[in-house]
Structure 1
Amino acid sequence: MTRLPAWADYGLIPVLNLGLAFAVAALVIAALGEDPAAALEVLVAGAFVYEGALGYTLFYTASFIFTGLAVAVAFQARLFNIGAEGQAMLGGLGAAGLCLAFDAVLPALLMIPLAIAGAAAAGAAWGAVPGWLQARRGSHIVITTIMFNFLASGLVVGLLSGPLMRPGQSNAETRALAESARIAQWHEIAPLLGLEAGRSPLNLSILLAVAACIGVWWLIWRTRWGYALRCLGLAAPAAEYAGIPVARITVQAMAVSGALAGLMAVNTVLGAQGKLLINFTAGFGFTGIAVALMGRGHPFGVALAALLFGALYQGGAEFDFEFATITREMVLLVQGLIVLFTGALSQMLVPLVARALGRA
């Protein structure tokens, strides 16, 4: 296997693969009769320039950070967690359930931390079960996490259509959460700091996402547990021979992964919507797989990849307004190409880059 310096392996190769993905997307856009340069300009302006655009981009980025980190932590143990979507749903139930029960009596100083803990705990519990099934019963983690997505979806729909539905309405959603359970949004805070900000759902959960990146880095690369987790991912038989409790680490890894996915609900339920809705996860749990692949499983890479996907998600919405033949579905094509080149074909350019570096 060809080995590259760390800066090339973790920096140059992903950038080149990303460039290939955008190059193929440009060819598709040109084949549709549109100017790729104009499409890129619209994408960038829609993500960063227009009023409120940056706020929306960072809002999506926060959600992608949580789900990307969830998948990345499981990757470290060679566990392919496809269940971040369902774990985020359960996180929403955990957070909203506690808010519905206590937001009328608890102040924000207690209610918000309790709701965050509830989101993490519910996601962790939903993630730990597939981990236990693989560790103790040999069930494949991919199959169980996929099935648990369907179970989570059914559970959320059943509760929002029945016990948690606000009385007197037909929409499957809870009542609005009290102000004590709402996380402040940036456009509300900015004037207090003497700044201007366009209206967007960006809220203080972005700080929690940054803290999660730092926490995951510390946990994986600076603790004994993280060392055991990485050993398990590199060679499970050798880890077991060395005395590492493989089954226990497997369950714990999936619990941590599920907790991170559950925290996505803090951004959407407490920070943006102010209530629990059906499909509030919007497929972001699945996008987290692409984010983790592109970020090479490292928190810093995940954060950068999440920013890119957030920009694609927000900027791509402008395609519907600016072009006749390009719609926001083009973003799905770009995302698919990114997954293709940074995942399945991630090593394609390694020999070429190695030869170029050798000559240099």
Structure 2
Amino acid sequence: MGHTADLLSSVRTQIDADDVPLKEARTRLQLVRDVAEGFPGSLRTYASGSLAHHTMNRPVTDGDGGLVLDRRCYPRLGPEGGNETPSEVAGELCALLGPAIREMYPKARCGTSKRGPKLWFNAPVNGQDPTVDLVVALTRRDGDGLWIPNLEKDRWEASHPEGHVALFNAGPASLRQTRRIVIRLLKAWNKQYSSPGMSSFHLSALAWEFIVSGLGVPTALHTVLDRAATRISRGYATPDPAGVSAPLKLLLGREIVASRLRKAADAVAEAIEHDTDEVAVQMALHKMFWKYIDDPTGGGLARTADLLRQRRPVPTTALGLGGAAALVVPTRAYGGRSLL
């Protein structure tokens, strides 16, 4: 394993979800699904999103799932029925979920998000309190996938969350592992910005499309960034992997997103090119993961260590230490070697 893979692995240790909150999120989602199956006209429930795709980062924030309704029980619901909107049925489901969930989580409450009921549990585990979002869905009469709500616009939209789970979990074990690692790295990179340019699902779709068997993590990461930057800079949209919903939208302007992707792609390419030079790799990857990898040429721990290796006293202000200004005299070991 080269220095590029090593440093990317160090980023993973900082972003990977903790086991206990992750297990709790799965428990909460399953509990909500079990209760939802008792809703009149229920056909089935499903898990979706980062939990189902195995791409959750720290902190564990939510669990996504859905309830599929039998359209025969709701003949007026949805675009292929009487075009009845989803607001009322989402409210009825929330009225069922809230009291039932409070039997196990007394402080839980149920509201709504964009796609259906949302459960807040108010019971942190290791400082993390994952919520559950449950989509109220209808099977489609024509075509694959489901009709899912957009409660913000009070309408139904076509999607295929179950199909996405199948696609993102398909392929040989080595391919799945690489794809999941790259998705987690991409999500961490994207969220360093105060205004992310792409949704987590968009990044997952790009990784699913561009990563093939046989690629190591550094090469796979560069491949996704490079091809995504080229596509977006040329004005092309990312298609829905399941071919059901509309092409995926960017969260910011095309030029901004393309520029971010290209800079990240160039940083990974530079790291791979100088893979045997640890400092050069760190310098390159700091450009992409500035919150996770220190700049070896200044700032952070590297700069502090360099200052303390000097033979003259160092001001505390130069070391970033608070309190009254003072001088720190480096301690010397036998033979003139620094005790660092």
TM, length-normalised to structure 1: 0.24
Pair member with larger Rg: 2
**TM-score computed with the length of structure 2 as normaliser:** 0.25
Q: Which has the higher contact order (CA 8 A, sep 6+)?
A: 1
Higher helix content, 1 or 2 = 1
Which of the two has greater strand per residue? Answer: 2
